[in-house]
Amino acid sequence: MLTVRNPLQYHHFHNGYLRGDLSRGLKEDKKMRHIHMRLTLLLVASLLLAACALAPPAPVDEPDTAAAGTDAEKVIYLGAAVSETGKYSREGKDTRQGYGLWLDWVNSEYGGVKIGDERYSVELIMYDDEGDPDTAARLVEKLINEDRVDFLLGPYSSSLTQSTSAIAEKYGKIMIEGNGAAEPLFERGFQNLFAVLTPAGNYTRSALQLLAGKGAKTVVIAYEDTAFPTSVADGAQRWAAEYGLEVLGVETYPVNVADVSGIMSKFKELKPDIFVGGGHFNDAVLFIRAAKELDFNPKAMVITVGPSNPKLIEEVGADTEYVIGPTQWEASMSYADEYLGTAAEYAARYEDMWGEPPTYQAAESTATALALHLAIEQAASLDTDAVRAALRSLDVVTFYGPISFDEKGRNVGKPMGAIQIQDGEILVVAPANAAVAELNYPAPAWEDR
């Protein structure tokens, strides 16, 4: 059964539909097929409406459409609230495209999710949460109560995951996610939240361990005063102590900050070996630009989210050289599975589909959907209890890396990596078994570059 909800707002992925403008990265022939499909659907709808207007009304027994995902329909309905606009629109795009790749693959190539002897196509209903936790929570409630989805995929960011997972838990609906890493998410005793990504407290571990081994002695930390960056900063202080690094200063800043020069000026006076910045993409841009403008010269800059995204190099240019960043995944890593192939093959598939290389946020979003898919097949059922049990026992290696959940829903099987931008390329420098380059340390002063 194929259900179309407002074809002007959903982009067709074989038997799945996505809300939002996801077609920009597709090749032109795919765009045209999607346009033709939407026009055909609109034409058919117009003809049906005209026919109804000419005929006298007759009583009709409405079919029961509430039971989404039944055997008779052979469709699994997934739902997600993901930022298309607002603060997280850039990372939200990566998240939506990551989900979209899996949706296209599972329906068109894999032949649908296997449940026993039957194949189920998948429809994914997505709404724009506008980067707002309250909006995201309201939309997830709509997905559960009005759209009647079977399972939920998570949003981008820990703050939005916090609000949406609370709604999922309230209704006993499984939410699996790949973009909410804050430690407090997993300390609430929830039974229905699962996350494929390494928790935020471990984000800086590989980088700080590597830098301590190179002779670094001191560190300063700046972070956004929200859930994910707070967990990153707490972890950074913990790992600094573990590796013998002295923390000289810690500063916070509010959401949507436009200027970090005050913080960077304070840190310049402290002359640290390492600067750690915990935030999101836009914060990375601010940190690097402020450091250069103020001639603040730490020997290493470790910044979350931004450095692993090629768009940071496009936006900031050569000033990104020597910057280090935590990474959940890179295409050069040696992970592989029987579904989407190697990490490199996944990256090639993604770039072919969307016209740009995948960020780790995109890869972990695809891995999120794949993990749910594998759990459903293992459970051989859409029953929530059965799928939850299958998720708890899942132990697989995917193109993204190992996935195995502890009792809190955290992926405890996956190590965190670190990258450094060298000669305009994003290169893995840790862990040692995944590294493709040596860490360049110390970074030269701005005036010497």
Residues 315 and 387 in one domain: no
What parts of the chain have a pLDDT lower than 50? 1-17, 19-71
pLDDT score for 67: 43
Residues 117 and 239 in one domain: no
Does any domain span residue 143? yes
Does any domain span residue 423? yes
Does any domain span residue 3? no
Residues 193 and 205 in one domain: no
Count of CB atoms situated within 10 Å of the CB of 315: 17
Does any domain span residue 185? yes
Distance CA(167)–CA(449), nearest Å, equals 50
Residue carrying structure tokens 């997972």: 165
pLDDT, one tens digit per residue, over 126-164 is: 999 999 999 999 999 999 999 999 999 999 999 999 999
Residues 379 and 423 in one domain: no
The token pair that represents 59 in the structure block: 């009583």
In SS3 terms, 431-444 reads as CCCCCCCCCCCCCC
Does any domain span residue 409? no
Residues 371 and 320 in one domain: no
Residues 121 and 211 in one domain: no
Residues 102 and 210 in one domain: no
* Helices then strands, each counted (H, E), the chain: 12, 19
pLDDT score for 73: 65
Distance CA(371)–CA(266), nearest Å, equals 44
Question: What does the DSSP 8-state code read for residue 50?
Answer: H
Residues 309 and 193 in one domain: no
Residues 217 and 188 in one domain: no
- Distance of alpha carbon 114 from the chain centroid: 25
Residues 192 and 240 in one domain: no
Q: In terms of residue numbers, what domain contains 273?
A: 201-327+416-448
Does any domain span residue 1? no
Rounded alpha-carbon distances, angstroms, from residue 69 to 9, 114, 169, 365, 372 = 22, 13, 20, 22, 15
Question: What does the DSSP 8-state code read for residue 445?
Answer: P
User: If DSSP codes are grouped into helix, strand and coil, which group holds residue 64?
Assistant: coil
Q: CATH number of the domain at 21, please.
A: 3.40.50.2300
N-term to C-term CA, the chain:
61
pLDDT score for 433: 83
Question: Pairing between strand 151-153 and 175-177?
Answer: parallel
pLDDT, one tens digit per residue, over 259-297 is: 999 999 999 999 999 999 999 999 999 999 999 999 999
Residues 138 and 224 in one domain: no
The number of folded domains in the chain is 2
The token pair that represents 372 in the structure block: 């749910």
Rounded alpha-carbon distances, angstroms, from residue 30 to 104, 164, 366 = 12, 33, 20
Distance CA(97)–CA(435), nearest Å, equals 27
Residues 323 and 444 in one domain: yes
The token pair that represents 287 in the structure block: 């940190």
| Nearest Cα to Cα of residue 245 among 286, 284, 215, 266 | 215
Does any domain span residue 253? yes
Does any domain span residue 357? yes
